[in-house]
């Protein structure tokens, strides 16, 4: 092999290796660009482990952390119910969500309890149970939040209370109402009870509740990830 040929072939090989690396770096870079934090218009930035279903590739996050944007709001589907994400706290793995019906429906009526079975999410502390009673034949002797839109004249009432257990023992709701649905509501210590009592039912639902998530056990790749996308 003469010198000329030796150089050409080696430079060629080097070139191939180099472009290969460059391409790989480019595609890795492309991936990180594709996965850069996004928002829906309103609400928090969506980033790992969350990702936007219609705009980003699934490698940007984890399977059950896919979010859709609906009228510029980030929406998370949990057990077939839709929740608007009000905030995400990446540092302590928690997020504040509210039933989307509270925003979208004139008469929001959650019909089942929040079910987090087989999801990566768990209810966090700092909550009160807000109980909604549907189609009751009488009203309790107790201040309640009225659901006028889901009541029928003077025959069937729907109402809501905090701490269902505090209801008057003289009000056996099981006998008087058709169904009960519990909604968790985010509560901070020292919450202003006066302003809470002045809110209406829809405003209470919009307060939302805090969930925390169990991260896939990979804190080192998470660090690597956040370094890359900066």
Ligand X SMILES: *[C@@H]1O[C@H](CO)[C@@H](O)[C@H](O)[C@H]1NC(C)=O
Give residues in contact with ligand X (CB under 6 A).
37, 44-45, 89, 92-94, 111-113, 120, 122, 124-125, 134-135, 152, 156, 178-182, 192, 194-195, 200, 202-203, 210, 212, 214, 217
CB-wise, 8 or 29, nearer to ligand X?
A: 29
Q: How far is the CB of 82 from ligand X (least distance, A)?
A: 18
Distance CA(145)–CA(139), nearest Å, equals 11
CB-wise, 11 or 107, nearer to ligand X?
A: 107
Place of tokens 């269902």: 164
| Beta pairing class for 94-99 and 209-213 | antiparallel
CB-wise, 25 or 218, nearer to ligand X?
A: 218
DSSP 83: E
Q: How far is the CB of 27 from ligand X (least distance, A)?
A: 23
Task: State the Cα torsion 107-206-70-94 to the nearest 10°.
Answer: -150
Q: Are 79 and 115 in contact (CB under 8 A)?
A: yes
Distance CA(201)–CA(144), nearest Å, equals 9
CB-wise, 8 or 122, nearer to ligand X?
A: 122
Q: How far is the CB of 113 from ligand X (least distance, A)?
A: 4
């Amino acid at each position: 092999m003469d010198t000329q040929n030796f150089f050409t072939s080696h430079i060629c090989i080097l070139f191939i290796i180099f472009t290969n690396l460059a391409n790989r770096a480019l595609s890795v870079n492309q991936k990180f660009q594709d996965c850069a934090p996004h928002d829906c218009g309103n609400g928090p930035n969506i980033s790992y482990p969350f990702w936007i279903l219609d705009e980003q590739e699934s490698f940007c996050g984890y399977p059950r952390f896919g979010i859709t944007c609906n009228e510029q709001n980030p929406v998370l589907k949990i057990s077939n119910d839709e929740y608007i994400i009000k905030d995400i706290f990446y540092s302590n793995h928690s997020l504040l969500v509210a039933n989307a019906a509270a925003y979208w429906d004139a008469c929001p009526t959650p019909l089942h309890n929040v079910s987090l079975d087989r999801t990566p999410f768990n209810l966090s502390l700092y909550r009160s149970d807000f109980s909604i009673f549907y189609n009751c034949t009488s009203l309790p002797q107790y201040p309640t939040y009225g659901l006028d839109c889901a009541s029928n004249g003077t025959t069937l009432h729907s109402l809501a209370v905090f701490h269902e257990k505090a209801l008057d023992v003289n009000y056996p709701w099981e006998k008087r109402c058709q169904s009960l649905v519990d909604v968790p509501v985010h509560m901070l210590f020292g919450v202003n009870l006066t302003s809470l009592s002045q809110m209406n039912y829809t405003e209470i639902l919009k307060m939302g509740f805090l969930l925390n998530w169990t991260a896939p056990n990979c804190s080192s790749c998470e660090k690597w990830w956040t370094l890359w996308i900066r």
